[in-house]
A = this chain, B = another copy of it.
């Protein structure tokens, strides 16, 4: 099966202006640098503009500005990356899934599985769990008691929902993710740790995406909550009773400690950490590997850390960092701390 579209088809389907040959055939997508005569590429980042002249692409999605003087076939888009994402989706042929429960799955008698859902091999579904229409549960997934999987969700493979995890519609969970494990609640008594029961659940809104090996603990009393359209990359850790606002995105290896609240449209960089019991307002950007140790009340970009240096120079600066207070006092600094 070979998919193929004409440039005119694509222009019409995505409501884009076409400059060039309407009959140009496109049967795939690629980068500007590697695209061939029957492939579509895109130019969004000005950094790659120099590649345009030499690109072998049969068709390029770009802004009107960038198309000035371009001799090839162009689709003009206000946001070429968005247009490209939509066109590329035409070529993202996922394997067909057949509704039904695989013979080597273990489904509890009290679970409810839509006949329209697809349950793969080696899937375990526990008491009172529910899987709605169109959901795809890949090989090796474990769905514990009292979990609910909304319509159109996909759990790719080897995903574990421990208990009381409720996914909205069209939630995509990548392999190895663990949702609903015990929050990390401990009290010290007579020199030994006493486990604090974790009686809440996890609630995930519609259209969220949860990366590979990401972990989201269930709440101690209330639930841990992801609002709709939250996007989590791989290996993220979300502690119990965290709440993440709609349309926020977190990059790989970032983490949020228990009972922190993150606003809407936040962007959390890779490896960044957010301590517990604090609030981050809407539209906050945290740069990679920064640590948020206090609530943030103003939208904007926040950072911590020091710049990369060659190790020899770094050692000198690092040694001086230890002396900073003494150095400042010696300099007669009587600054108030600015913030």
Contact = CB atoms under 8 A, between A and B. Distances in A.
Nearest to A333: B327
Contact of A287 (B140, B255, B270, B311): B311
Interface stretch (A5-13, A18-26, A65-73, A191-199): A191-199
Given A85-B195, A194-B85, A314-B303, A140 B156 contact: no
B294 A322 contact: no
A134 interface: no
A237 B176 CA distance: 13
Q: How large is the interface on A (under 10, 10 to 19, 20 to 34, 35 or more residues)?
A: 35 or more
Nearest to A125: B139
B314 A304 contact: yes
Contact of A257 (B182, B184, B185, B252): B252
Interface string A55-97: 0000000000000000000000001011011101101100100
Contacts of A338: 313, 322-323, 326
Q: Is the interface of A mostly helix, strand, loop or mixed?
A: loop
Given A178-B174, A192-B247, A317 B325 contact: yes
23 contacts: A85-B194, A89-B195, A95-B163, A121-B122, A122-B122, A124-B139, A162-B175, A193-B247, A211-B215, A213-B213, A215-B235, A235-B237, A237-B252, A270-B273, A275-B288, A301-B312, A302-B311, A303-B309, A305-B306, A307-B321, A317-B323, A321-B324, A324-B324
Given A85-B197, A303-B309, A307-B322, 5 more contacts: A88-B197, A121-B122, A211-B215, A302-B308, A322-B338
Interface of A: 29-31, 34, 79, 81-82, 84-86, 88-89, 91-92, 95, 102, 104, 106, 120-122, 124, 126-127, 138-140, 142, 144-145, 156-158, 160, 162-163, 172, 174-176, 178, 181-182, 184-189, 191-199, 207, 209, 211-213, 215, 217, 221-222, 229, 231, 233-235, 237, 239, 247, 249, 251-253, 255, 257, 270-271, 273, 275, 285, 287-294, 300-328, 330-331, 333, 335, 337-339
